Amino acid sequence: MKQTWGMAFNQLLEHEAGFTDDPRDPGNHMRDGRPGCTNLGVTQQAWEDYVGRPVTHDDMKQLTRESVEPFYKKKYWDAIRADDLPMGVDYMVFDVSVNSLFQVPFIKIASFSFNQPPPGRVLEPLGRVLS
């Protein structure tokens, strides 16, 4: 198994650091209409989905690198089976998946830019659609 997870997580947080509740940010809108926020790149909606309960802006401000690491690992890194991708490609696909929520552009990049189909059962149906 490759050991690039730690490097990828650190690099991601270099770009995803800080708290924001800017209403112009589309990630700061909750499904139920409440104003949301983002900290360390994690939206309030995504964190609520992950922890299974409502959280406040103060809860979000308390997030740390340590508390969000399992979130990113499970929801993104493991979901795209990044350990099965070549080094460098793993980070690119991880970063795109974080920022695109597994939308088709992620699949196109993985499939066409690197001439390698995306791994995993979760992504196979989308890969077939693009073939």
Reading the chain (131 residues) residue by residue, the pLDDT tens digits are 468 899 999 999 988 878 999 999 888 999 999 999 999 999 999 999 999 999 999 999 999 999 999 999 999 898 888 888 888 888 888 888 888 755 445 555 555 555 555 555 444 544 444 44
46 in helix, strand or coil? helix
Query: 19: Cβ–Cβ under 8 A, 6 or more apart, which residues?
Result: 37, 38, 39, 60, 61
Measured CA to CA, the distance from residue 9 to residue 69 in angstroms comes to 7
Tokens 């730690």, residue located: 6
Domain layout of the chain by residue ranges: 5-130
DSSP string, 60-99: HHT--HHHHHHHHIIIIIITTTGGGSPTTHHHHHHHHHHH
